[in-house]
Structure 1
Amino acid sequence: MTPRWQKSSYCSEGASCVHVTAAAETIHLTESSDPARVILTAAPAAFDAFIAVLKEESPRV
């Protein structure tokens, strides 16, 4: 099955964007401007922890 990638809601038009998809107990991330098309794979719990850290450390707008 071909993964269905979702673009980050923080991505502006034409910008380099993070894309995410989920499949069979894994989360996959990639970045649109990466010429090697590297895919980072994480377990859901690890991905949740990653997002929690980003939310804690991101500047408040």
Structure 2
Amino acid sequence: MSAFKWQKSSYSSESLNCIYLAVAPDRSVKLRESDDPEIIVTTTPGKLRALLRGIKDGEFDHLTT
């Protein structure tokens, strides 16, 4: 397992699949999913912010219907 300090949302429970976030020493953001924690996606704070705004604004809703 990696040495990052992973954080899980307070909205997640132990019985749900969860997304974990960590900030690397170079300030990049790391993401992993609880089902396969060895796969880590790296992004920037700005790109993560844009993704979260798009999710909140419904930009990706057409992908789930």
Q: TM-score range by the shorter chain?
A: 0.7 to 0.9
The answer to whether residue 25 in structure 2 is matched with residue 33 in structure 1 is: no
* Distance (whole Å) between structure 2 residues aligned to residue 25 and residue 32 of structure 1: 22
TM-score, normalization by structure 1: 0.77
Point out 4+ residue stretches in structure 1 off by more than 2 angstroms. Answer: none
Map 1:1-61 → 2, pairs under 5 A: 2-23=3-24, 24-34=26-36, 37-57=38-58
- After superposition, the CA RMSD in angstroms is 2.0
State how many pairs are aligned. 57
| Uncovered stretches (5+) of structure 2, i.e. residues with no partner | none
CA-to-aligned-CA distance 1:8-49 (integer Å, 9 cap, x gap):
233222211100001222000000012x62101001111110
Aligned sequence identity (%) = 33
| Uncovered stretches (5+) of structure 1, i.e. residues with no partner | none
